[in-house]
Amino acid sequence: MFMDLNLLGFSNVLPSLFILVKSSPLITSVANICLLIGMLYVYLERYQKVKSKFTTTLVLFSLLFLIQNIIFSVYLIYYPPVTIEAAALPLIFLGLEFAALALLLMITRE
């Protein structure tokens, strides 16, 4: 199998793909941080206008998730996953969190 890849000129694809997969939890965590900064901006604007308990809770919700993702990103920088299997579980959780935050931001912006 690897000989076929070498003959076709794809010998550098597999190592690059492994590096991408192993760094994907960090990439997803940074994407979550970007979404949370956007949500925090929207919620802070609404808090300045409304100043209700609900908007205060939304600001705190965004801040807590932002802190969690920053801590997780720093952890992934210092202790990156060594194998693809070690990267799979954080990627699943961060990917689901990204989808949920993207939906929440989409609904919030409307």
What digits encode the pLDDT tens for the residues 97-109?
A: 999 999 999 998 7
C-beta of residue 48 within 8 angstroms of C-beta of residue 60? no
3-class SS of residue 6: helix
Domain count, the chain: 1
Residue 4, pLDDT > 80, answer no
> For 61-92, what is each residue's pLDDT tens digit?
999 999 999 999 999 999 988 888 888 889 99
Per-residue confidence (pLDDT) for residue 7, from 0 to 100: 52
Per-residue confidence (pLDDT) for residue 10, from 0 to 100: 59
User: Phi and psi for 79 in degrees, rounded to 5?
Assistant: -130, 70
Q: Rounded to an integer, what distance in angstroms lies between the CA atom of residue 90 and that of residue 38?
A: 23
Where in the sequence is the domain holding 52, given as residue range(s)?
2-109
Per-residue confidence (pLDDT) for residue 1, from 0 to 100: 45
Q: How many Cα atoms within 13 Å fall on the side-chain side of residue 55?
A: 13
Residue 30, pLDDT > 60, answer yes
Residue 2, pLDDT > 50, answer no
Q: Rounded to an integer, what distance in angstroms lies between the CA atom of residue 33 and that of residue 31?
A: 5
